[in-house]
Structure 1
Amino acid sequence: MNILLLFATLSTSSKAFQKTTFNSETELDSNKVIELNKNGYSNRLTSPDQSINIGRKAISIAKKINYQKGIAEGYRVTGIGYYYTNNSDSALNNYLISLNIFKKIKDEIGEAKVSSNIGNLWAEIDYDKSLEYFNQTLVIANKHSIKDLIAGTYLNIGNAYYRKKNYSLALSNYTRSNSLFKKINNPIGITQSLQNIGVIYFYLNNFDVAEKTLLEANKKSKENELNNTIATINLTLSTIYINKNNFKKAEQYINEGIGFAKLVNNQKLIYDYTYTNYELESKRKNYEKALEYLKEINALDSINYKKNTASNINLIQQTLKQQQTQKENELTIQAQINAQKLAFAIGAVTIMAFLVIFLLIKTNKRSKKSNSELTALNNEVIKQKNNVDRINHQLEEIIGERTKDLIIKNQKLSEYSSHLSHQIRGPVATLKGLMMLVEDKLVDSNEIAPQIKKCVDDIDSKIMTINEDLHDPTRKGLS
């Protein structure tokens, strides 16, 4: 049974059903296109056929004024209309056209919305694939802080986990979505999230909570004239009442739900109600009537199987084709970029070649003029070199003489040090001995004063002699 409602994407309208009238002299401007697309989107849960018509009208006007964003959104709205009438092939074709235009004009937000729509189509075939699309949408929605789209994407992620039978994760995402929708006061989103929460409680066999939640969602759906939503909610409510053996209420919600399903021309829901009628009559033990419904179901199953199989194959083929086209476009763009780079490089090389030729010619002219100057400079350099060589030779002679003089002085210093050590050491030792006698009080200082004076005089005389010898250039050694 199709008892979950998918959130198509961004919605800001508080009233789902808005009657739209068209004037033959419609003003051809972008504001009109924007208004049409909003109205078409708002009608998706009330009259999806109307969404298709309004979307086509928006496309027609947008093409006349070459409003690419309006054209892309028009195709998206038209695809949503086909989606809610269970025409997946037409929905996908419109989505792909919309996606290509959004990519062409580099509208990231538009791409995110279409990705969410395509993810809804994949939800019936490949749950993981649908999650990829929803997660891509969520990244962009968070990047641009689009609250409606964030809330709607959590709702769709919950649907994917519901189909994977991971009810805890599904409920977590539905609850988060409901909270976000309440914060931005989006009645349609609140209703859809409530419905899906009720469905999860139904599958958890908590019929009382499911019934209460779904009745609240049913009330809100009627307040906002959400015909498709009413039909899907009634389908679950009728199943709950069948399980509770409340056949009267089950029949009441089935009949009401069939009416709304026919109103929105949802053949899938009509089929689901046929199956629910079979369950009701079987539970009532009215086997004759149950058998009639079962025969009808078998006939519809055969038709739907072929239709769904063809639709699923088409979805896969179209997606692969889209991916291939995208890859080819990326390669074409890269080839164009490479060609531009190559052309730029060739141009740059050509310019540089001309510059080099120009510089060579200019340099050649200058070189002739400079040759004579260079020759004169070369002669001057040779002359200066000869002068430098002569000066260097003179310097070498001076350095040799200075070096010889330094060697002699160093030799004298060495001899002076040795001589001083031997000549002075004796008198110093005598002085040292006399001082020790005085310190030990063995002799009186007055008695040895002449000897001390003699030693000092001797030292002074020897130092003077050594200095004279050291500074006498004619002497080669110390006496």
Structure 2
Amino acid sequence: MKKIYSALFFILFAFTVHAADGVKDLMAQDTNDVKSLNKQAYDARLTNPEQTINTGSRSLQLAIKLHYTPGIAEAYRVMGLGQFYLNLPEDAINSYIKSLDFYTRDNNLRGVAKVYNNIGSLYRDNDYDRSLEFFQKALDIGNKLSDKSLIATSYLNLGNFYFRKKSVNQALKYYNDSESLFTILKDSVNLIQCQQNKGVVYYNLHQLDLATSLLTNAIVKAKDKDLNESVASIDLTLALLYIAKGEFDQAEKVVSEGSAYALIIKDDKMQRDFIYTHYQLEFKRKNYERAIFYLSDVYRQDSVAKKANLLSQLNLFEVRNKQEEEQKENELNIKRIQYENIRFWGAVIVACLLMVTIGLLINNVKRKTKTNAQLTDLNSEVLRQKDNLDRVNHHLEEIIDERTKDLQLKNKKLSEYSSYLSHQIRGPIATLKGLMNLEKEGLVDKKECINMMDKCVSEIDEKIIEMSDMMHDSKSAL
């Protein structure tokens, strides 16, 4: 029974440990896969926004399957970034709000701040007040957490905000502040963004040489890192800069390159911006026929874009109503995740309690077995002592019987000796008494009587000595 309990315990223990370690290792590996996919999606945002959305979608599916809340939140956020760079604002706000909901429920302030920055950028060209509100919220959290990355990103976004508000000096201040922090963080991608934005500012300040230096340096680094969106955006400013400087051939080259990059990233808005830049270039060249062609194309596409932009702005507000309905579903999903986690840890706790119970039972069996063994040994010792006592008692009884028989024999001999001696002594005494009576009556000669009496006394004395020797021999025998 002891062996059976021991085997059962070790089998259950091994199974529980193996299962727990297996689940733990599997979940750790899968959550690492989610993190890796989210990073790949984020890194592709300026190279291929479609890839960002596709990779983020894969990460989202895996994170939902694992009930991995931080992974779900980040997947929604990076998908929103891809949608933002593809000019799909209604899809982007939908993804951002879902991400914000999961980050909030996970109490992840850093994640919340990142989403605030993303939503602020989405509202930047449509609602300045809302945009500034979100950027400021992100900056407040960054300062609260002393997170340089969050602070630097918020400064960069605030610089973009103030540039669009025509406050170029204030924008430049934020760009410089963000550049200092990104330099400390060695964030090369955002440093390219800072140089690009500063180049745009200096272009608007008509400091064309400084703008050219910053933009050309930024585009070389952007090409080196395959940041297609950044390259297209920088080319757009460089084209205007070369047109302003009268370097039309260089401007045409940059416009062609930028148009190609805008086509690669499938940014319709930027493609329209390059068509308009073509118009500006041809107009400056006084090639009016060609300029009118580009202008009509711009007008046609711009009319469609305005309608789409108006619809997008309306959708930005409508989608919030949809989110209220989806929020309830998210709450249910989160509760479901919590329930699954509780079930998992409940199963682990029950398994641990079962192991402890089995351990206690086995320990109790061991103690009982040990006690029984001790009692068995004690009982054997008692039986052995009893056998010894029985043997001793039996031996004593034999000795007593033997001694009793010996005493009886000796008593019998003593009795026989006593009878014998009594008989032997009584004869001479009777003779002596007879002689004394004869002497009194004068029937015997006095001298002869004395001799006979002396003979009787000697005989009595011999008998007494013989009796004494016999008694001595009997005592020695005893």
TM-score by length of structure 2 reads 0.61
Q: What amino acid does structure 2 have at the position aligned with 1:225?
A: D
Deviations 1:157-180 (A, max 9, x none): 001101110111000001111111
Partner of 2:76: 75
Is structure 2 residue 58 aligned with structure 1 residue 57?
yes
Partner of 2:233: 232
Give distance in 2, aligned partners of 1:47 and 1:294.
29
Shift, 1:317, TM fit:
3.1
Shift, 1:320, TM fit:
6.6
Deviations 1:138-168 (A, max 9, x none): 1111222222221111000001101110111
Deviations 1:426-472 (A, max 9, x none): xxxxxxxxxxxxxxxxxxxxxxxxxxxxxxxxxxxxxxxxxxxxxxx
SS in 2 for 1:86: coil
Q: Is the 8 A contact 1:82 1:88 kept in 2?
A: yes
Give distance in 1, aligned partners of 2:201 and 2:97.
32
Is structure 2 residue 220 aligned with structure 1 residue 189?
no
Give runs of aligned pairs for residues 349-368 of structure 1, distance below 5 A. Answer: none
Q: What amino acid does structure 2 have at the position aligned with 1:313?
A: L
Partner of 2:308: 307
Q: CA RMSD in A?
A: 2.2
Q: Is the 8 A contact 2:90 2:319 kept in 1?
A: no
Give distance in 1, aligned partners of 2:74 and 2:185.
23
SS in 1 for 2:134: helix
Deviations 1:121-150 (A, max 9, x none): 110112222111011001111222222221
Partner of 1:318: 319
Give distance in 1, aligned partners of 2:319 and 2:135.
19
Give distance in 2, aligned partners of 1:37 and 1:269.
26
Partner of 1:66: 67
Q: Is the 8 A contact 1:28 1:65 kept in 2?
A: no
Give distance in 2, aligned partners of 1:173 and 1:201.
14
Give distance in 2, aligned partners of 1:26 and 1:237.
49
Is structure 2 residue 289 aligned with structure 1 residue 281?
no
Q: Is the 8 A contact 2:34 2:63 kept in 1?
A: yes
Partner of 1:295: 296
Q: Is the 8 A contact 1:214 1:233 kept in 2?
A: yes
Give runs of aligned pairs for residues 28-427 of structure 1, distance below 5 A. Answer: 29-319=30-320
Give distance in 2, aligned partners of 1:184 and 1:57.
29
SS in 1 for 2:126: coil
Partner of 1:21: none
Give distance in 1, aligned partners of 2:195 and 2:152.
13
Q: Is the 8 A contact 2:94 2:323 kept in 1?
A: no
SS in 2 for 1:44: coil
Give distance in 1, aligned partners of 2:321 and 2:161.
21
Give distance in 2, aligned partners of 1:241 and 1:172.
26
Count matched residues: 305
Deviations 1:5-29 (A, max 9, x none): xxxxxxxxxxxxxxxxxxxx99961
Q: Is the 8 A contact 2:73 2:103 kept in 1?
A: yes
Q: What amino acid does structure 1 have at the position aligned with 2:189?
A: I
Give distance in 2, aligned partners of 1:26 and 1:294.
57
Deviations 1:397-417 (A, max 9, x none): xxxxxxxxxxxxxxxxxxxxx
Give distance in 2, aligned partners of 1:129 and 1:288.
43
Give distance in 1, aligned partners of 2:219 and 2:65.
42
Q: 1:325 to 1:30 in 2, by over 3 A?
A: closer
Q: Is the 8 A contact 1:116 1:137 kept in 2?
A: yes
Give distance in 1, aligned partners of 2:227 and 2:326.
38
Q: What amino acid does structure 2 have at the position aligned with 1:183?
A: I
Partner of 1:9: none
The structure 1 segments of at least 4 consecutive aligned residues displaced by more than 6 Å after TM superposition are: 25-28, 323-327
Higher normalized helix content (fraction of residues): 2
Shift, 1:326, TM fit:
8.4
Q: 1:172 to 1:118 in 2, by over 3 A?
A: same
Q: 1:231 to 1:314 in 2, by over 3 A?
A: same
Give distance in 2, aligned partners of 1:171 and 1:321.
38
TM-score by length of structure 1 reads 0.61
Q: 1:319 to 1:208 in 2, by over 3 A?
A: farther
Q: 1:56 to 1:156 in 2, by over 3 A?
A: same
SS in 2 for 1:45: coil
Give distance in 2, aligned partners of 1:38 and 1:26.
18
Give distance in 1, aligned partners of 2:322 and 2:66.
30
Q: What amino acid does structure 2 have at the position aligned with 1:240?
A: L
SS in 1 for 2:307: helix
SS in 1 for 2:206: coil
Q: 1:140 to 1:26 in 2, by over 3 A?
A: closer
Q: What amino acid does structure 2 have at the position aligned with 1:206?
A: Q
- Greater Cα radius of gyration, structure 1 or 2: 2
SS in 1 for 2:314: helix
Give distance in 2, aligned partners of 1:39 and 1:325.
27
Q: Is the 8 A contact 1:134 1:157 kept in 2?
A: yes
Q: What amino acid does structure 2 have at the position aligned with 1:279?
A: Q
Shift, 1:246, TM fit:
0.5
Shift, 1:58, TM fit:
0.3
Shift, 1:319, TM fit:
4.3
Q: Percent of aligned positions with the same letter in both sequences?
A: 43
**What residue ranges of structure 1 are gaps of 5+ in the alignment?**
1-24, 331-479
Q: What amino acid does structure 1 have at the position aligned with 2:78?
A: V
SS in 2 for 1:125: coil
Q: Is the 8 A contact 1:43 1:50 kept in 2?
A: yes
Give distance in 2, aligned partners of 1:228 and 1:325.
32
Shift, 1:323, TM fit:
8.2
Give distance in 2, aligned partners of 1:89 and 1:252.
34
